[in-house]
Amino acid sequence: MSIIVIPCRAKTEKLSKHPLALLHGIPHICWTLRSSLKCSSEISIAYDDDVIAETVTKYANWIGNKGHYEMVKTKKYNTDSDQANELITMIDSSYNYKHVITIPSNIPVFPSNLPSMLIEQLKNDVNIEVSTVMTNITDMEIKNTNVVKVVVDNFDEYVGKCVFFSQQPISPSFRHINIYAYDRDYLEWNSEIKPTYLEKLYQMEQMRMITNYAHINGILVDDDFICINEKDDINKFEKLIKKDD
């Protein structure tokens, strides 16, 4: 079995990435939860401040009741993976969930088949500990330090092994989308390790995995993801919603 975990931390460096920041009048976390409910019946929100749970409850009618989700309060963490690991340890002592998907609240919409694609990577090769998402990157995105780039090795059609992540311009590379599927054992092991020097230097949790030689597979998808990392991303999302309306 697998579960989607949406990590939510009240303290973020950028207001635009805050789980309670409004997108088209609705908080980030509510958009992400509604999208998650379209692709899984096993969803948990990990939150560290009661205001997050209160907000989700307030918007319950807008989110809809298709599917089940629960909200679990955790300690305060700096990374999605550490927060997700605490949640899964709390709710699943019987070890029913073998795979854990983390979807941050700054990704409001995504393809409904994406979680299953990531899980399939883990099931097809026991050597793969983590799978993640990447898209083709534009020249402008390569120069943008708010966009995380991923360098892959042994790229074959749409899959490659991730060997490096960077916010600085680097080419050839793909645009990294911060959605992960973890082997449960690896997630637990990774969370027991202290943050590495590169992780703390670049403020990127991926660097802990890379430093400790994790096998991370990146899946290339065609969809044009909107990740809310800066104010321009909010404007892009508003235009997308108005177009769909």
Instruction: Express each pLDDT in 144-182 by its tens digit.
Output: 998 999 999 988 888 999 999 999 999 899 999 999 999
pLDDT at 14: 55
Q: For residue 115, give the nearest of 6, 201, 194 by alpha carbon.
A: 6
- Whether the pLDDT of residue 8 is over 90: the answer is yes
Reduced to 3 states (helix: H, G, I; strand: E, B; else coil), residue 216 is strand
Neighbour count for residue 218 (Cβ, 10 Å): 27
User: What CATH homologous superfamily does 2-244 map to?
Assistant: Spore Coat Polysaccharide Biosynthesis Protein SpsA; Chain A (3.90.550.10)
Whether omega for the bond prior to residue 115 falls within 30 degrees of 0, making it cis, is no
Q: What is the mean pLDDT of residues 21-45?
A: 92
What does the DSSP assignment read for 38-80?
Answer: TT-S-EEEEESSHHHHHHHHHTHHHH-SSS-EEEEE----SSH
Residue percentage of the chain with pLDDT more than 70: 94
- Whether the pLDDT of residue 15 is over 90: the answer is no
Alpha-carbon distance values, 241 to 31, 61, 236 (Å): 12, 19, 9
Q: What are 92's two structure tokens? A: 């699943």
pLDDT digits (tens, 9 = 90+) for 220-233: 998 767 888 887 88
Q: What are 145's two structure tokens? A: 């330090």
SS3 per residue for 81-125: HHHHHHHHHHHCCCCCCCEEEECCCCCCCCCCCHHHHHHHHHHHC
pLDDT digits (tens, 9 = 90+) for 135-148: 999 999 999 998 99
Q: What are 221's two structure tokens? A: 């998808």
Residue percentage of the chain with pLDDT more than 90: 76
